[in-house]
Structure 1
Amino acid sequence: MSQKKLISVIATRSQGGSVIKSLLNAGNFKVRALLRNPDSEQSKELGSLGAEIVKCDIGTDSKEAIEKAIAGSDGLYLVTVFWNYMGKESEVGKKAVDAALAAKIGHLVFSSLAPANKISGGRYHVPHFDEKNAVEEYARELSKKHPEFKSSFVYAPFYMQNFNTFFKVQKGADNEYSLSLPVDPSSKFPLDMADIDDIGPIVKGIFSNPTKYAGLSVPFSGSALTGDEIAQAISKNSGKPVKFNYVPTDIFAKAPFPGASEMAEMFAYYNEFGAFDKLNKDLGKELTTLTTFDQFLQKNPIQFN
C-alpha cells in the first residue's frame, strides 16, 4: 500500500472544514489542521474525524513558525480571509507561500479570486479579490523559479450559503417577501454561485493529481442565475412567493454595514465581467458533481425573517 500524503490545511470554517473532511474521507490522505485555537470546538470536531491539530495563525505567526507548523507535509491548502487581515491579506498570503517553499512543500493549492482591478482597467477596486490574486501571482513566480514547488488555484464564486446569512429574504410592511440584491437585470452575466461545501472534493481532486493541475486555476459554479431566477427558485422550494428587488450598486454601497462599499464594487464587477473572466468553468465539473441552487435549497431551506 502506498504511503498516505500529508496535507496541511488552513482550517477556516467554510472552506477548510470541507477540504479536511473530503481529504480524510478519501482514505489516501492524512490531514494536519492548522488552527488559531487548538482548544476550540471546531478543533475538537476535526480531531475526532482523524485530523492532526496544530496551533498556527498565519496572520500573526512568523514565516519560520508557519514553516515549522507545516514541516513534513506533502501539500498545503492555503486560504486567506480578507476581513481578518484588512489591508494585509497579500502580505499574509505571501508569507505563507514563502513558508511553504522553505518547508519543501511539493504542492500548494491556494484559494484565489480574479484580479478585478486589472480586468476592469482600474474601474473596480475589490481588495479581497485583488489581494488574493497578488498572492496567486507571487506563488506562480516562485513555481517558475522552483519547478519542484507546484502551485494550483481554486476559484469560488458567490456562496449559496449567503442567502441564509448576509442576503436573507425579507418580509416587508405589506407582508410580502422580497430578496434584495445588486444583481443587474440588464447584465449579460447571471450570478455564478456555489455551495462552498463543494470545494472539498475539488481540492481533493487537485491534490490527487498535482502534475495535471500544476499552474491551473480551477473555477467552479453550481448554478448561474439572474436575480429573478434566484427568487423564483426560493419561491418554488419554500412554497412562499418571493420577488426579486434590484438594488443598484451605488445605493447598495451606502448600506449601513461594514464592507458595503467593497461588496458593491464586487457586484458591479460581477455585473460587467462575470465571476471568472476567461477561466474554464468546466474544470470544476471534472472533479466533482456540483450542487445546483435547487439542490442546495432542498438541503438548506431558506430562513425567512
Structure 2
Amino acid sequence: MTTPLRGADHRMRRPVSAACLLLSLACAPACAVQGPRRGGALDAEFAQLLPRPAPDAPAAPAWREGRQRLADLRREVAGAGPRTLRVRLSLREPRTGQVIEARGAIAIAPPAEVVDGRARGAGSAAVEPEGALRMILLGPGGTTALDLWTRGDRFRFAVPALDLLKRGDASTPRASLRGLPVDFLRWWMLHPAAGTLLWYERAASVDAFVLRDGDAVIELRIDDRGSIGARRTTWSAAGDARRRQLDEEVVIAERMGCGNVRYAQASTGLLVTVICEAEERDRAPDPRAFVDPDAIRPGDGS
C-alpha cells in the first residue's frame, strides 16, 4: 500500500494568509544580503557543538575512524527508507520579526541505492537515482501555501497565493537560487552525509566532519546523544573567474529522521523551526507525489 501525500488536516493556530506566510521566501533572492555572512541566528549555537580544531591534519588512525563513522551515518540514513513526515512549521519573517505557522507533509523517496536496499522488504521501487522529495504546506482552510517538488536535479518551487513558480535543474545558475532553500532541503532530507571527506576529528563526545559536496562545503557535527548540526556554505561555480560565497545555512536537529529541527539562512535572515509530529514508514508515499506537478493533466490523477 502507499500513503497519499496530503497536508495534515489540522488548522493553523494562528490564521495567517498564505501570501503572508511565504512572502519572505518568495522575495528572498531580491531581499538577500549581499556578501558573505556567517550562518545567521544559529551560528553561535552551532559553534558550541564544535570541538576545537586540532592544528594538524588527522593521523591515519583518526582518518580511518572518521571514514568508518561517516559510513555508519550513511547506513543509518539509508535505513530510514521511503517515508512521509507530518510536520508543523514556524517561520520568523526576517524583515518584520513576525512569527508565522503552518502545517504540512513531506514525502521522501531516498536515492536509488537506499530504496533498492529496502525494496525487497517494502515492495517499493526507486523513482530516481538521486532520490525525490515533495513538501506541501497548507494555509488556512486547507489551501496550498507552498508546494516544493524535487526529483533528481530538477525542482519546482510554487507559492500559489502569490502566483509564484520557479523551476530549475542542474544547469540553473546557483546564484539565481540564492535565498531559496531548495538545494539545502534536497541535501538535508535525501543525503545529509553525502560528499567527499576532507577532515575529521573526535573530541568531547562529538564527531566533526568536513565534507565537500559539489560547490558546497559542509561542516557536520554529531554528538553521542544523536544531536546533529550542519553548516553548509555554498560557493559560486568552480569555473567562475573569482569564486565567491553565495550563502551559508545552518541546521540543528535533535536527531536524524523525525525530530525537531531549526534552520537559519544567512543571506535572508530567515529562521525556521520544524516540529515533526509523526512519521510513517509502514507504507511508502504514493508514487504520484513524485511526478512533476506540471506534467499531470487535469483529471489525470497520475
Would the TM-score normalized by the shorter structure come out above 0.5?
no
Compare the two structures and name the one with the higher strand fraction: 2
Q: Structure 2 length normalisation: TM-score?
A: 0.22
Compare the two structures and name the one with the higher helix fraction: 1
Q: Which has the higher contact order (CA 8 A, sep 6+)?
A: 2
